[in-house]
Amino acid sequence: MAECHPIGFRWVMKAKARGATIIHVDPRYTRTSAVADLHAPIRAGSDIAFLGGIVRYIIENERYFRAYVVPYTNASTILREDYRDTEDLDGLFSGYAEGTYDPTSWQYQGVDLVPPAGQKDAASDLEGRAGDNLARGTNDERDLSLEHPRCVFQVLRRHFARYTPEMVETTCGIPAADFLRIAEAMCAASGREKTGAICYAVGWTQHSVGVQYIRTAAIIQLLLGNMGRPGGGIMALRGHASIQGSTDIPTLFDLLPGYLPMPTVQHAPDLATYLRAHRSDSAWWSEMPKYVVSLLKAWFGEAATAANDYLFDTLPKLSGDHSHMATIALMADAQVRGYLVIGENPVVGTVGGPLQRKGMAKLDWLVVRDFAPTETAEFWRVSPEIARGEIATTDIGTEVFFFPAATHTEKDGSFTNTQRLLQWHHRAVAPPGDARSDLWFAYHLGRRLKTRYAASTLPRDAALRALTWDYPTHGASHEPSAEAVLREINGYTVETGVAVDGFTDLAADGTTASGCWIYSGAYAGGVNQAARRKPAREQTWVAPDWGWAWPANRRLLYNRASADPAGVPWSERKKYVWWDAAAAKWTGADVPDFIVDRPPTYRPPAGARGLATIAGDNPFIMQADGRGWLFAPSGIVDGPLPTHYEPQESTTANPLYAQQCNPARLQWRRRDNPYHAAYADRRFPYLLTTFRLTEHHTAGGMSRWLPWLSELQPELFCEVSPELAAERGLANGGWATLRSARAEIACRVLVTRRIRPLLIAGAVMHQIAVPYHWGGIGRVTGDVVNDLFPLVGDPSVHIPESKVITCDVVPGRRVRAPHGAVSPQAPPHDLPRVGQRTAEPPQVTPSPNVKEKAKA
C-alpha cells in the first residue's frame, strides 16, 4: 500500500502512531513491509489457504463475535439436504458439470432461489426458472444455536477444518508460529471495543479464483464483526484514480450503471421478464425496477414510454462472454473489426501481449486516446515481433487513429475513490493543442452519430435516434458541461426537471429519470455535492460535507451493524449509528444505512414484500435475507464458499484436493495461448509474480514519458533472492532472461533479501518478482512483462490471472531471436516528426533499428 498508494498510506501511518498493528502479507518485502509491524512473505496464489486458515482459527478458538454473527450473518441459516461440499467431493461442489456449476443445491432450505444483489450472469440459468416465487429469500429456516449440521456455520466449520496452521505453513510458506501470531493479532483487534480493516490492492483479484480471495476476507470480517462498523471493512485500493467510478457507471460489458445486470439474449425478451429475473422480492433489491425505468428515461427521454417498454428492447443483449480476454481471442481470429482504447494500454497492462498484437494487426481500425503515445497506439511500429522480424509494418493493414487526451487538470469532472467518495475537480488550465477531454470525445462522437443516423428507419438505429444528447457546451472547443452530466446521473423529475434528492425519490412509472441510481443525490438540491470542500476543522470527524459518497452520502455501508440488534452501540468507543428511541429514528455520526424510522423490534408480517421484509435487525439490506453472507447461495459462479485451488500454473500439486485448479476458471485452449503443465513443469521451475512501483503508473503511459519519474526507476528489473541468484548465476545489476511458453523477456537483476525462498511442501521454492511498467515507447523503455502471461481468468468477473505463472530464468540478455535478427535494441525515445512518415511506406529491413526506419 505504501508502494502503490502512498497518499492513502498517510492514514495507515497515522493509525500506527495511535497504536494500530500493521500486518503486511506479500511475496515481497516492500516499502509497506518496511514500516509494518509484521511482514509475512507468502507464496503467490496461495491466499485462500492463508485466509481459510484464519477462518478456521477464528471458529475453532471461538474467537468469532457471536453476538454479531448470529443475528447479522447467515451463519444460522440451514442449507438444502443435497448440498455437497468440496470436502465431500475432493475439490468440487455439488452441481458441477463440464466446467460450470448449477447452483440449485447451494440454496437455503425451503427457498427456491436467493437472488444476489446486483446479480450478473451468475444465476442466469436460474433466472428462467425463478418464475413468480414471491417469497424468494425470506422463508429460510434457521438454527440460532448454530449447531444444526446443515446450518451455514457448521458447513463453514467443516469446509475449513483442514486449513490448519501446519497446512498454511506447507502451502503458503508462512511458518505456523508466524501465522498464529497474525491470526491472533486480527482476533485481538476485533470485538465490541475494537475493529480491524483489511486493505488490498487489486493484484489480489487477479487470479483464477480472484473473487473468492475477497470472499474469504469478507467471511473473516463478518465472523469478527468488522463490517458496517467504524475502522472495519475491506478496502479495495484501486489501480487508477476513479476505477471505482468506472465500475459504478461501468465500462464493464455485463453491467448497466448502478450494478444493474446487462440484459441477456436468453432472459430478456421484454422489460417485465428482465425485471422478474433479476429483482428480489425482498429487501432493497426489490426496488430495482425503479432504477431500471429511471435509467431508460434518462437515456431516452420522452421517447421512452410505458407503452413501448421504455425502449428496453433497444438495449444490446449479451449473447456470451464479451470480456476483454474473450474479445482479444476473437480479435486474433479476425472476428473483431474495430477497437476503441481510451486511457488504457492493454498491450503492456494486461496479459497475452503477443496475442493482443496479433489481434490488433487484424483490425480494420484502432482508436487510441491517451496523453502520450503508448505501445498499444504504436504496435504497428514498435513491437517484439517487428524487432524479431516476424512481422513487418507493411504487413499490418489496421488504420490507427491517435487522439491526444486532456489530463484531469485540464478538464472538469469527478473522481470516485475506494470509499465511494466522489470528489470534483475543476479545470485549471486548457488542454494543449488538439487534446480534448474524454467527455468532449464521447459527446461529439455521439452527436455526429446521431446526425448521421437521424434519418435511418432501421430498428437497430432506434436507440441512437431516441438518445437524449442535449448537454450544454462552452468555449471555443465546445466542451460539454460535466456538471450537466452529473445532474442527469443524479436524476430529476421528468415533469418539472427539478433534480431529485436521492434514489428514494425515483419511481418505476416513468415520472423520474436517473443515469445511475446509486449516484442519485450527488446533485441534490441542484447543487454539485461532489464539489463540497468544507475543511475538516469545521465539521465532524466523519466529514459528511467533504465531497459526496454514494449511496445517499453514506460514508460507511451497512452501518446499522455498528449497533447491536436492539439498536444500542456495541461500545461507547465504537459508537457510530444507533436507534434513538425517544425520537423513534436511527441517528448517529453518519447517514444511517437503514430505513430511518424502522425500530429494531420490527418483524415483517407474513406475506410481506419488498422493503417491508427488512426486519429491524437486518443490517445488510441489499441482500435478499438482510444478512451478511458467510455462505453465498448465488452470485458467484465457482462455488458458495472459497476453496484453495492452485493457479493455472503452479510449482506444486494442490495439497488439499485432487482438483488442482478452479474447475470453473476461464481458459482459452489454443495454439497461440499455450499453458505450462499444471505443476512441476520442469521447463519452468520458478514462480513469477508482478508488481507495481511507486515511481511508475501501471502501463507507463503516464510515467515513462516524464523525466522526473523515469530517472527514479529507469529500467525493467527482476527481484531475486541471493539463493536463487547463486543457483542460476545471476549478478546484481546484470542481465537476466525470463521465459514462459508464451514469450521471453530480458531485464536487469536486483539481488535482494527482500525476496526470499520459501519452504513449500518440504521443498525450497523460489519466487521472482517483476514490475510490469515498461514497454517499447517512452523516455525509458523495456520489455513487456505481461507478454509472459497467458489468457486465463476468474469465471465470476472475467479478470485475468496476471499475478502468478511459472517461469524460468537464465543469466544474460539471451532473448531468442528467430529469423536471424539480433536482440531487440532499445526503441527510439521519440516519434517520427509529423510529415516525415507519410510520403512513402517505411522501409522494412530485418534490422530491428526502428529509429532508422522512422527516419526513412
Partner 1 sequence: MIDPQTMGFLTDATLCIGCKACEVACKQWNELADDGYALTGMSYDNTAALGASTWRHVAFVEQPIPAVDTRLLGYDGRAGGGRIAWKMLSDVCKHCARAGCLEACPTGAITRTETGSVYIQPDVCNGCGYCVPACPFGVVARREDDGRAYKCTLCYDRQQGGLEPACAKACPTDSIEFGPVERLRAKAAARVTELRARGVAVQLYGEDAAAQPGTGGLHAFFLLNDEPEVFNLPPAPVVPTMGVGRSWLAAAAGAVAISALAVGAVLLGRGRSR
Per-residue b or e along 756-774, where b marks 16 or more CB atoms closer than 10 Å to that residue's CB: bbbebeeeebbbbbbbbbb
476 burial level (CB within 10 Å; 0-12, 13-18, 19+):
exposed
E strand or H helix at 365, and its extent? strand 365-370
Least distance in Å: CB of 679 to partner 1?
Answer: 19
352 burial level (CB within 10 Å; 0-12, 13-18, 19+):
buried
Residue 301 vs 714, nearer CB to partner 1 = 714
Q: CA 349 to CA 832: how far, in whole Å?
A: 24
Q: CA 198 to CA 235: how far, in whole Å?
A: 6
Q: Which three cell numbers stand for residue 64?
A: 468469532
Residue 95 vs 811, nearer CB to partner 1 = 811
Q: CA 274 to CA 262: how far, in whole Å?
A: 9
Q: Which three cell numbers stand for residue 560?
A: 446499522
Q: At residue 717, what is the residue type?
A: F
Alpha helices in 370-481 (DSSP H): 384-387, 438-452, 462-466
Do 730 and 749 form a contact (C-beta atoms < 8 A)? yes
Least distance in Å: CB of 642 to partner 1?
Answer: 24
Q: CA 366 to CA 361: how far, in whole Å?
A: 9
Least distance in Å: CB of 35 to partner 1?
Answer: 6
Per residue, the 3-state secondary structure of 692-708, as one string, reads CCCCCCCCCCCCCCCHH
Residue 116 vs 373, nearer CB to partner 1 = 373
Residue 13 vs 810, nearer CB to partner 1 = 13
Cα pseudo-dihedral 257, 262, 267, 268, rounded to 10: 60
Count, in order, helices (H) and strands (E) of the chain: 22, 30
Distances in Å between the Cα of 304 and the Cα atoms of 92, 143, 298 are 46, 48, 9
Residue 562 vs 713, nearer CB to partner 1 = 713
Residue 171 vs 280, nearer CB to partner 1 = 171
Residue 43 vs 297, nearer CB to partner 1 = 43
Least distance in Å: CB of 829 to partner 1?
Answer: 9
Residue 9 vs 579, nearer CB to partner 1 = 9
Least distance in Å: CB of 779 to partner 1?
Answer: 7
Residue 231 vs 714, nearer CB to partner 1 = 714
Residue 35 vs 235, nearer CB to partner 1 = 35
Residue 17 vs 583, nearer CB to partner 1 = 17
Annotate 501-543 with DSSP letters as a single string.
SSGGG--SSSSEE-S-GGGTTTTGGGS-GGG-B--GGGS-TT-
Residue 4 vs 518, nearer CB to partner 1 = 4
Annotate 268-291 with DSSP letters as a single string.
-SSHHHHHHHH--SBSGGGGHHHH
Residue 243 vs 780, nearer CB to partner 1 = 780
Cβ-based neighbours of 106, under 8 Å, separated by 6 or more? 79, 80, 83, 93, 94, 95, 631, 632, 633, 634, 640
Nearest to 221 by CA among 558, 683, 533: 558
Residue 317 vs 756, nearer CB to partner 1 = 756
Residue 150 vs 754, nearer CB to partner 1 = 754
Residue 523 vs 774, nearer CB to partner 1 = 774
Within 13 Å and on the Cβ side, how many CA atoms surround 160? 27
List 237's β-bridge partners, or say none. 201
Annotate 774-809 with DSSP letters as a single string.
--SSSSS----GGGG---EE-TTT--B--S-EEEEE
Secondary structure (3-state) at 614: coil
What backbone phi and psi angles, to 5 degrees, belong to 261?
-70, 145
Nearest to 267 by CA among 167, 168, 129: 129
Annotate 126-177 with DSSP letters as a single string.
HHHHHTT-TTTTT---B-TTS-STTBHHHHHHHHTTT--HHHHHHHH---HH
Least distance in Å: CB of 719 to partner 1?
Answer: 10
Q: Which three cell numbers stand for residue 88?
A: 465431500
Residue 6 vs 432, nearer CB to partner 1 = 6
Q: CA 638 to CA 157: how far, in whole Å?
A: 19
Do 4 and 201 form a contact (C-beta atoms < 8 A)? yes
Residue 542 vs 750, nearer CB to partner 1 = 750
Residues within the interface to partner 1 (CB under 8 A): 2, 6-7, 9-10, 13, 29, 31-35, 37-41, 173, 175, 178, 181, 693-695, 707-715, 717, 721-723, 732-733, 748, 750, 752-754, 756-759, 764, 779-780
Least distance in Å: CB of 189 to partner 1?
Answer: 17
Q: CA 350 to CA 344: how far, in whole Å?
A: 10
Within 13 Å and on the Cβ side, how many CA atoms surround 578? 14
Do 664 and 122 form a contact (C-beta atoms < 8 A)? no
Do 109 and 150 form a contact (C-beta atoms < 8 A)? yes
Least distance in Å: CB of 732 to partner 1?
Answer: 5
Cβ-based neighbours of 343, under 8 Å, separated by 6 or more? 369, 370, 405, 438
Least distance in Å: CB of 684 to partner 1?
Answer: 20
Least distance in Å: CB of 753 to partner 1?
Answer: 4
Sign of CA dihedral 395, 398, 399, 403: negative
